[in-house]
């Protein structure tokens, strides 16, 4: 089962890598932009948790997005060490353009499963993830 899950995840990642490349984004960058669109002001640690990467990797992602003009972060903060990130107008534009690619890939996944089985599959995937919650 684990091998099949990994194979499906690798196929999904490959399709997303190819699709997002045309928008100048990586999968972690896209995921970061999506999270910031939903919850502006998230910190590096919060974004790392939400995109399934390490804090160190998220630092690289955020630097790339900032250098590309897709997000802004203050140089310093008044409280603690967290530097809240926000989308720029260019970040919103790039995210909107890339969403079509990601949504089309997600639809291909859904179309590969008979419609009457999809709710059960999604519930099973949630249970598989929860099996490792500690």
CATH number for the domain that contains residue 47: 1.10.10.10
- Residue 85's domain comprises 2-130
pLDDT tens digits in sequence order for the chain, 134 residues long:
999 999 999 999 999 999 999 999 999 999 999 999 999 999 999 999 999 999 999 999 999 999 999 999 987 766 666 789 999 999 999 999 999 999 999 999 999 999 999 999 999 999 999 998 86
CA distance 48 to 56: 8
CA distances from 86 to 22, 52, 107 (A): 23, 19, 28
- The CA angle 5-10-12, to the nearest 5 degrees, is 95
Residue 58: helix, strand or coil by DSSP? helix
Q: Could you tell me which residues come within 8 angstroms of residue 15 by beta carbon, excluding any fewer than 6 positions away?
A: 105, 108
What is the tally of structural domains in the chain? 1
> What pTM value is reported for the model?
0.88
Q: What element of type H or E holds 71?
A: strand 71-72
Q: Which two tokens stand for residue 36?
A: 């910031």
């Amino acid at each position: 089962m684990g091998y099949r899950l990994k194979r499906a995840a690798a196929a999904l990642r490959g399709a997303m890598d190819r699709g997002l490349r045309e928008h100048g984004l990586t999968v972690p960058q896209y995921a970061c932009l999506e999270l910031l669109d939903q919850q502006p002001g998230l910190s590096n640690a919060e974004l790392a948790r939400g995109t399934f990467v390490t804090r160190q990797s998220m630092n690289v992602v955020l630097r790339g997005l900032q250098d590309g003009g897709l997000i802004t972060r203050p140089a310093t903060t008044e409280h603690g060490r967290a530097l809240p990130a926000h989308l720029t107008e260019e970040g919103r534009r790039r995210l909107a353009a890339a969403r079509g690619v990601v949504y089309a890939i997600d639809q291909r996944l859904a179309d590969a499963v008979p419609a009457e089985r999809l709710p059960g599959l999604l519930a099973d995937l949630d249970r598989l993830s929860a099996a490792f919650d500690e």
